[in-house]
Amino acid sequence: MLDTPLMAKGFTKVLVANRGEIAIRVTRTLREMGIGSVAVYSDADRAALHVRVADEAYPIGPAPASESYLRVDKIIRVAKESGCQAIHPGYGFLSENPALPEACEQAGITFIGPPASAMRQMGSKTAARKRMAAAGVPVTPGVNDCAGADDAIAAAKTIGYPVMLKAATGGGGKGMRLVANEGEMKSAWERARSEAKKFFGDDTVYIEKAIVQPRHVEIQVLGDREGNLVHVFERDCSIQRRNQKVVEETPSPAAPPELVAKMGAIAVQGAKAVGYFSAGTFEFLLAPDGQCYFLEMNTRLQVEHPVTELVTGLDLVREMVLVAQGEKLAFAQHELTRSGAAIECRVYAEDPSSGFLPSPGTIRELVTPAGPGVRDDGGAYPGCVISSYYDPLISKLSVWAPNRDRAVARMRRALSEYVVTGIRTNLAFHQRLFEHPDFVRGAYDTSFIERNKDSLVGYPEVPGNMQDAFAVAMAVAASRMERATGAKTAEQGERAGRLSPWVAAQRARLR
């Protein structure tokens, strides 16, 4: 028996303990299910779109997440005051913090997610490695209990360089350092510990063998409270910058069906070992020789879940809600099928030419793609502010097509329709990526961006037959920007660095 008490079926109102696109995405499914939605917002998000689309909305404090979205007590208070029977955490913030489901249980509120016990077992990467190894899941060779840099050096001699240092309670690429030789270890160890302490409040770091040029392939799992568990195929998340995912797709170009079935069986085995239910994801490194190694489990809904939904027809948020209401999975493993191929691009307010640094500010114009097979999960609108307090995600642009070649072509078309002004974005990066011959062939790994940054980072060339029209459009836009900022001449604007390389290049060509 699972250790989380079963709550009454049929939620009438659910609080979404998150912000931005994922709060909107969850709210949409709740509305389709006839369930009322309650949003929470910080002072910085008073005018945010997720506040507008919910049935009710309540303030929870200042802009810093530590004073608002990360406050379990405030989330529970709003849920009780608004009469919610359940809370959906989305991803990020409190979604993998066992304190929230525990507080929900004490307050008589259902947590739409896994049990706190499973979160605790999988929340520490070192503990998760031990637990999964005991359950027969293949893990990357490593050492979990190094007391300091000297221990790490000794461990690396046994494992063999290169090695990876990782924060035990981390994620999102924070607290990670690749170490190529003994001379790099001490400084890398201290930097990894410092970053782990800063982001996660825990400076515990462990060491594992670095798999050179691996694919990052993950398996979606889904289970109910009666112990029924299935995997919902794989997603390839190998296109990453600074160990953070940028593009995801399914099926993986590198994982044949028999390997996916093997990885899926391993993931289900691992999930059962910790009494898991709801949606979760097992992440693996796929070595060039075809061997797969357990990396970590994310005990929540993943950012990239739309691609799984597009190829299977499932609504994973709906399934999470049904499981939380005590319902059994409506399908067995052999009944799950998928069709076609799906790809997702994360559209960020960031500047790839400056090392992908965030680019907060106010969006002036926003035109999102549409048409056959296109899905845009977003939380932005013209005039909204991309805050420096939170992740600079603008939206997740996903496409579906009958096969990968057509999905790549469809994404190219969708990206060409996407317009954002007022801030810098990574749209140009995505356009170049989807033209790169190796990516088009599906021949990439986790170091792809770093190896190809000269061709991927920057501004795409304008097709010859469009250069005159583009130059005119850019000149008009630049003129408007100069008047708005009080610049006396275009040359002064260029010297001040306000014009993009696109504008400068086109003006130089027309002089």
- Residue 214's SS3 state is coil
- The structure tokens listed for 116 are 């706190």
Contact of 12 with 36, CB cutoff 8 Å = yes
Residue 110, classed as helix, strand or coil, is strand
Q: How many CB atoms lie within 10 A of CB 375?
A: 19
Strand pairing report for 142-143 and 86-88 = unpaired
408: its two tokens? 């790549």
- Could you tell me which residues come within 8 angstroms of residue 99 by beta carbon, excluding any fewer than 6 positions away? 72
Q: Which of 241, 300, 404, 410 is catalytic?
A: 300
Residue 509 among the catalytic residues: no
d(CA 401, CA 403): 5
Calculate Rg over the CA atoms of the chain: 23
Closest residue by Cα to residue 78 from 15, 25, 11, 31: 15
CA dist 167 and 57 (Å) reads 36
The amino acid that residue 309 corresponds to is E
Estimate to the nearest angstrom the gap between the alpha carbon of 29 and the chain centroid. 19
Cα-based distances in Å from 63 to 69, 390, 407: 9, 9, 39
User: Token digits for 129?
Assistant: 């490695």
Q: Kindly tell me the sign of the dihedral angle through the C-alpha atoms of 188, 189, 195, 200.
A: positive
450's tokens: 């770093």
Q: DSSP per residue over 398-466, as a string?
A: EEEESSHHHHHHHHHHHHHH-EE-SS--SHHHHHHHTT-HHHHHT---TTHHHHTHHHHSS-PPPPGGG
Cα–Cα distance list, 499 to 337, 359, 477, 493, 494 (Å): 49, 15, 10, 7, 5
Nearest one of 417, 368, 373, 416 to 398, comparing CA atoms:
373
* Residue numbers annotated as active site: 300
